[in-house]
Amino acid sequence: MFGQIKMVITLIMIMGIAGGGMYVFKLRADNAILKANQVQLETAITEQNKVLEQQKEDFTAILESNKKLNVLIQTFKKDLQDLDKRFTKKNRDVGKLAIDRTKAVERIINKGAKNAARCLELASGAEHTEDELKATKKSEINPECPALANPSYVPY
Local confidence pLDDT in tens for the 156 residues of the chain: 777 888 888 989 999 899 999 999 999 999 999 999 999 999 999 999 999 999 999 999 999 999 999 998 998 888 888 877 777 666 777 777 788 888 988 898 899 899 889 888 888 888 888 888 888 888 788 888 887 777 777 776
Which pLDDT score is estimated for 129? 86
**Residue 150 · residue 130 · CB < 8 Å:** no
Evaluate whether 122 touches 149 at the Cβ level (below 8 Å).
yes
- Buried b / exposed e over 16-55, threshold 16 CB at 10 Å, is eeeeeeeeeeeeeeeeeeeeeeeeeeeeeeeeeeeeeeee
Task: Tell me, rounded to whole angstroms, the distance of Cα 47 from its chain centroid.
Answer: 21
**Separation CA 148–CA 75 (nearest Å):** 7
pLDDT the model gives residue 60: 96
In this predicted structure, what is the pLDDT of residue 156?
63
CA distance 57 to 68: 17
pLDDT at residue 53, as a whole number: 96
Task: Report pLDDT for 151.
Answer: 77
Q: Is the pTM of this model over 0.85?
A: no
Those residues whose C-beta lies under 8 Å from the C-beta of residue 148, and which sit 6 or more positions away, are: 72, 75, 76, 79, 119, 122, 123
User: If residue 54 lies in a helix (H) or strand (E), which one and from where to where?
Assistant: helix 2-87
- How far, in Å, CA of 148 to CA of 142, rounded? 9
Asked if 132 contacts 150 with a C-beta cutoff of 8 angstroms, the reply is yes
**Burial track 63-91 (b if 16+ CB lie within 10 A, e otherwise):** eeeeeeeeeeeebeeebeeeeeeeeeeee
Question: What does the pLDDT read at residue 13?
Answer: 92
